[in-house]
Amino acid sequence: MSDANHITSSYNRVSGGYNGRYEQNPLPGVAATLGDLVAQTGARRVLEVGCGTGHWLETLAPDLDLIVGLDPSTGMLTQAQARPGAIALVNGRDDALPFADGSFDLVYVVNALHHFNDKPGFPAAVKRLLRPGGALALIGHDVPSALGHWTIYEYFPETIDLDRARYPLWSDVQAWMTAAGYSVQPLGVAEQIHKEYRGRTVLSDHFMQRGGTSQLFLLTDAQYQAGIDRITRAIEEAESRSEEAIFRTDIQLYVAVGRV
């Protein structure tokens, strides 16, 4: 099975509980960033590529004439279909965007670029879909700045090399936008994520579950269990000293915006 098919199959499996990430943290900064982009561009027709369960589609839909979500996972689209509002859904991939030229005012991606088949070519592929004055916005995680600041990287070290291989540097993302002819804005921060768990409460964290995030469902069963065992040992060692182990996450989600 190819990596892309493996990821899609994994998202199909975990789709039923995946929206738990937004119940735990609704990412208000991302919501505000997307709302600001709609206002700044005067967008009425919007596309989300890699829409997943449709969380952001539902957030933006009341203010738009048309919002479309595209995703390769039928399981995730089934979850999105259950959301209220006038949301159009399309099963498809980033490297075969099935839309006419000039269809949208804003195209955005939230935490999905690392899954795309043609990351360097994506900005150019999107550009033909945008009307003059439209924008492409890419929001997501940054591996270098998260090293030493994310519980998953600390206790599941195999995820670091996996993510280095699939997450582009933001400087490269902006260079791809520039090469495609966008006017690129300075890199911004869409969300600052601060979390702290004490002791065994970390084991109930949505992001510690096997299906909570792609970092973990890309691991083998043995690698995942080894990470849980490391966390458990840290908890037990602290308890032996009558203390609580503290698990902190302090990471940023960045936003790269290009205008046409």
Output the pTM of the full model. 0.96
* DSSP state letters, the chain: --HHHHHHHHHHHHHHHHTHHHHH---HHHHHHHHHHHHHHT-SEEEEES-TT-HHHHHHGGG-SEEEEEES-HHHHHHHHTSSSS-EEEE--TTS----TT-EEEEEEES-GGG-S-TTTHHHHHHTTEEEEEEEEEEEE-HHHHTTT-HHHHH-THHHHHHHHHSPPHHHHHHHHHHTT-EEPPPEEEEEEEEEEEGGGGGG-GGGSTTS-HHHHTS-HHHHHHHHHHHHHHHHHHHHTT---EEEEEEEEEEEEEE-
Higher pLDDT, 107 or 85: 107
The pLDDT of residue 46 is above 60: yes
pLDDT band of 117, cuts 50, 70, 90: very high
The pLDDT of residue 1 is above 60: no
The pLDDT of residue 38 is above 70: yes
The pLDDT of residue 2 is above 60: no
Report, as an integer, the average pLDDT of 151-156. Answer: 98
- Give residue 3's pLDDT: 55
CATH number of 3-259: 3.40.50.150
